Amino acid sequence: MQEQFHLPIIFDLGATFIFGITGALAALQRGYDFIGLFALAFASGVGGGLLRDGLFIQQGPPAVTMDLRYIVVITVARPRRAALSPRSDSARECDRPR
C-alpha cells in the first residue's frame, strides 16, 4: 500500500493568499464595500480548497474549517489590494483616450 502524498501547508496557504488578492482586486474594480471585498476575497481564496476537500477527497471536514491560518491569510491578503490599486488606477488613466 502506498503512502498518501502530503503537500506542505505553505503551498496551500500561498495559493490561498494569491487567490485572495485576485478576489480583492476584482471586488475593488466592481466598487464593493468592505464586507463585499472580504466575501469575494474569501470565496476566491478558499473556494477551490473547499471543493477539493469537501467533494472530492471526503476524508473529514475541509481544511479551511479546521485551520484558522486560512482566515488569517485571507485577512492579510485583503489589505494588500490597497497597495496595488493606485498603480492599477494610474495605469487605467494613462490608457484613456484624450
Domain-wise residue ranges, the chain: 9-82
Say how far apart CA 39 and CA 45 lie, in whole Å: 10
**Mean pLDDT in the chain?**
79
Q: How much is the pLDDT for 5?
A: 75
> Which DSSP category does 23 fall into?
H
Say how far apart CA 15 and CA 37 lie, in whole Å: 18
pLDDT class for 57, splitting at 50, 70, 90? confident
Instruction: Give the angle subtended at the CA of 23 by the CAs of 19 and 29, to the nearest 5°.
Output: 145
Contacts of 75 (CB under 8 A, 6+ apart): 38
Q: For the segment 9-51, what is each residue's pLDDT rounded down to a tens digit?
A: 899 899 999 999 999 889 888 988 888 988 999 999 898 888 8
